[in-house]
A and B are shown apart, each in its own frame.
Chain A
Amino acid sequence: MRSNGDKDRVEPDDIARLIAAAGRRPAPDGAVRESVRAAVEQEWLQATGRRRARRAFRWAAAAAIVATAVGLGWLGLRDGTSEAPAPVGTLVAARGAVHLTSASDRGPIVAGSRLQAGTSVGTGASGYLLLTVASLDLRVGPGTVLDLDRPGHVQLTHGRIYVDSGPEGDAHEPLVVDTPFGRVSHLGTQFQVVVRSSSMWVGVRSGRVSVRERSGRHETLERGQAAAVERGGAMERMAVAPYGRSWAWVNTLTPDFPIDGRPLSEFLAWYVRETGRKLQLQGPATQAAIDQTRLSGSIAGLTPTEALVAVMATTRLQYDMNSPGELRIRLRGVATHGN
């Protein structure tokens, strides 16, 4: 044993032996790295943009901040001789730290931009995206790494997405979600897929979803059902409420629902679809009042629940959500069942 005071206690041979014995330093998972990179890079761009704004270029920096607010991915030069990649979707809206990049650089991506095959999507801890992919509403939650690699197909490496194919009967194109743990195919539905470093979870709010493990095992899930797939483990089925906390992130960024001139019944149908609740009307008088009510104004920028509060305040109806999973409507001044 050497003395503690010996400055040269670690000899070159020791260094070689120690480093060899310790082996390689563990590296973070690639998906984790990319997810964090997207979040940090977005913040870095915002922070340095603000700094520039403070120093000199007020107008230029203001434009950059606006661009960041809508979640831009800056694209560089494009080879004009190459064939344009296939369109795979559209950016509808973004919030928070998000990043989009494409192999075919052709200008800034802004709300309304068509997305090409090969577009990569990353969201930070506060990032949300709303896309249209394969004619479906695709919502991307925080901490997600997603590749729109070809029409009708996305690769979810990490994070969470929510898919809504619209009300039953609406025509839609097929969409396949591939993950490190298996493949998820929608059969006309609302569902979400969550991928973590060691597991995948699929939950169904309405309709049916097909989940196929890498091993080939296959399950079909319906409303209120979910499945978890652990790395190297078997698929486990479970129940999931189609409303509540598991789905709360989905309503952070919802597609606009123009209410001006539309009947209240359509708004309520939209609300229950967005939140997974069931609509319960108290008696035929309530139904008649709903049928007679048309809306005006706008709920743009509001979450579904904020919109419900705003809209119902203008009617002679009132609501409660005291029963789990239900939205109950009645005429003002009329007691609820059981009261």
Chain B
Amino acid sequence: MHTDDVALVGRLLARDEVAFRAFFDDYFPRLFRFILRRSNGDEEAARDIVQAALIRGVRRLETYRGEASLFTWLCQIARRELADHVAKAVREASYMHRLVELEDDPQVRASLESIPADAAAEPEAQRQREDLTAAVHAALDYLPNRYAQVLELKYLEDLSVDAIAERLGVTAITVQSLLARARNAFRDIGNTLLPNLGSAK
């Protein structure tokens, strides 16, 4: 049971505007990237699909039970919107698409390795870097926002634990605990999404 997500949905249903801002600021960018990876980088399409998915999501908030994370639940809605969008585009015979099955399929590693490569057009190493980058970003998006935030502060901004604590308004001990949990969560997701980790440079 995803109790934090259930609590957030409860606040949304109670028309808590602070909760809505937190909900949108947290989930919109993650869903946008989720769809962008699956719509061949088409930002216009991603915008329309994510907007439709979020609208459908807020209409159905009452049906969220917390069995899956709220992000996973929203991703399921977004996938259906994407499928509708692609089907419509195919019908109109004007849409070239490449669906990236990066983290959708249970056989994610096989999917990662089967991503169509423009091998003739770009070096293999470049393609691998792009795949790896997409996988790392997807892994961060799947984490609770607090976990992704603390990992990025630590490893992207290279902040000390004390500096992170000051930025987040918590104690250094809390940050250390948060980092440990975030690393474990990233490790779990990363082991699924990052098949060639050992060779990543």
Asked if A and B bind, the verdict is: yes
Which chain B residues lie closer than 8 Å to A10 at the CB level?
186-187, 190-191, 194, 197
Interface residue stretch chosen among A21-29, A229-237, A310-318: A21-29
Which chain B residues lie closer than 8 Å to A9 at the CB level?
187, 191, 197-198
Asked if A1 and B132 sit within 8 Å, CB to CB, the answer is no
A40 contacts partner chain B, Cβ-Cβ < 8 Å: yes
Asked if A19 and B152 sit within 8 Å, CB to CB, the answer is yes
Asked if A36 and B62 sit within 8 Å, CB to CB, the answer is no
Which chain A residues lie closer than 8 Å to B129 at the CB level?
21
Interface residue stretch chosen among B42-50, B64-72, B119-127, B159-167: B42-50
Asked if A15 and B190 sit within 8 Å, CB to CB, the answer is yes
A62 to chain B, nearest CB (A): 16
Q: Identify the interface centre among A10, A36, A49: most chain B CB within 10 Å of its CB.
A: A10
Interface residue stretch chosen among B26-34, B85-93, B94-102, B168-176: B26-34
CA distance A32 to B43 in the complex (A): 9
Q: B15's contact among A7, A15, A45, A197, by CB below 8 Å, is which?
A: A45
CA distance A32 to B35 in the complex (A): 14
CA distance A10 to B200 in the complex (A): 11
Q: B191's contact among A7, A32, A49, by CB below 8 Å, is which?
A: A7
Which chain B residues lie closer than 8 Å to A15 at the CB level?
151, 155, 183, 186-187, 190
CA distance A79 to B44 in the complex (A): 40
Which chain A residues lie closer than 8 Å to B24 at the CB level?
37, 40-41
Per the CB 8 Å criterion, the residue count for chain B at the interface is: 47
Asked if A25 and B33 sit within 8 Å, CB to CB, the answer is yes
Closest to A37 in B: B24
Closest to A198 in B: B43
CA distance A232 to B176 in the complex (A): 45
A262 contacts partner chain B, Cβ-Cβ < 8 Å: no
Q: A51's contact among B13, B140, B186, B191, by CB below 8 Å, is which?
A: B13
CA distance A28 to B50 in the complex (A): 11
B97 to chain A, nearest CB (A): 19
CA distance A28 to B25 in the complex (A): 11
Chain B 179-201 interface residues, beta-carbon cutoff 8 Å to A: 183, 186-187, 190-191, 194, 197-201
- With contacts A18-B194, A36-B47 taken as known, whether A47 is within 8 angstroms of B136 at the C-beta atoms is no
B55 contacts partner chain A, Cβ-Cβ < 8 Å: yes
CA distance A93 to B182 in the complex (A): 49
- With contacts A19-B152, A40-B51, A44-B58 taken as known, whether A25 is within 8 angstroms of B137 at the C-beta atoms is yes
Which chain B residues lie closer than 8 Å to A45 at the CB level?
15
B18 contacts partner chain A, Cβ-Cβ < 8 Å: no
B92 to chain A, nearest CB (A): 14
B107 contacts partner chain A, Cβ-Cβ < 8 Å: no
Closest to A22 in B: B136
16 contacts between A and B (CB under 8 A): A1-B199, A2-B197, A19-B152, A20-B155, A25-B33, A25-B140, A26-B137, A33-B28, A39-B51, A40-B55, A40-B58, A44-B20, A47-B59, A48-B15, A125-B48, A125-B52
Q: What residues of chain B have their CB less than 8 Å away from a CB belonging to chain A? A: 12-15, 20, 24, 28-29, 32-33, 36, 43-44, 47-48, 50-52, 54-55, 58-59, 61-62, 129, 132-133, 136-137, 140-141, 151-152, 154-156, 183, 186-187, 190-191, 194, 197-201
Besides A26-B137, A124-B51, 4 other CB < 8 A contacts?
A18-B194, A21-B132, A28-B29, A51-B13
